[in-house]
Amino acid sequence: MRVVFVHGACVRDGDWWWHRTAARLAGRGVASSAPALPSCGETGLAVGVDGPGLPEDAAAVRSVLTASAEPTVVVAHSYGGIVTAEAAAGVPSVAALLLVSSYLPEVGQGLGDFGDDAPAPFLDVDPAAGTLGVRPGMLVDTFLADCDPEVQRAAAGHLAAQSLGVVSQTVTAAAWHDVPSTYLLCTQDRGTSAARQRRYAERAGTVVELDAGHHPFLSRPDAVAELVLGLG
């Protein structure tokens, strides 16, 4: 098996966000990768009003998924669940989806369908520039409170401005209807409350709860790796 990790909104360098769990998987002989998302500026395209968005992100992930016939577990974090719904649809090698504090959109839904009318307080939205990002001063308390200090210190260097269009763009496919899907509910998440996650998780076939914050693959890598291995 192989694992493909699809990171969330407003970050870059997926390999860094995934590295602690990836190391555990590698020790068990399982390779993993984290495709670059164009909407986060990871492929050299300028983000903003006319910048790349959800379609480009889905195409980038799909190109990785279709490049191998090896059975694949897709681990989608937060916004990554939106991307994965489109990218993984109809890909024979995708054996399972793991949605981490994430979303399972129906066709015609997108990121904007899962939030409030007003932007979350931890988001810095610039309509003129067409970007959104995480306020650095709120990063640790909101998303990384249960992580080691060295992870907390390093994380700010892996934030990114993202094209604002991803909020309103919608998916044309919903892979989770056809692929076994597990929802990892993070009970200590301060970015997406456990109550919200429980509503989102109702669409998944299986729900697993973990005492962790928004990034359990950094704070609880052993637990996440074991869960992933069980899906392969």
- Residue 122 tokens read as 């931890």
pLDDT digits (tens, 9 = 90+) for 37-77: 999 999 999 999 999 999 999 999 999 999 999 999 999 99
pLDDT digits (tens, 9 = 90+) for 70-94: 999 999 999 999 999 999 999 999 9
CA distance 141 to 131: 22
φ/ψ (deg, to 5) at 200: -65, -35
pLDDT digits (tens, 9 = 90+) for 144-167: 999 999 999 999 999 999 999 999
pLDDT of residue 230 exceeding 90: yes
- Residue 225 tokens read as 């790796």
CA distance 32 to 19: 9
pLDDT digits (tens, 9 = 90+) for 164-194: 999 999 999 999 999 999 999 999 999 999 9
Q: pTM for the complete prediction?
A: 0.96
4 pairs with which residues across the strands? 33, 74
pLDDT of residue 119: 83
- Tell how strand 94-100 and strand 131-134 pair up: unpaired
What's the topology of domain 2-231? Rossmann fold (3.40.50)
CA distance 197 to 203: 11
- What percent of the chain stands above pLDDT 70? 100
**Around 5, how many Cα atoms within 13 Å sit in the side-chain half-sphere?**
27
CA distance 40 to 47: 7
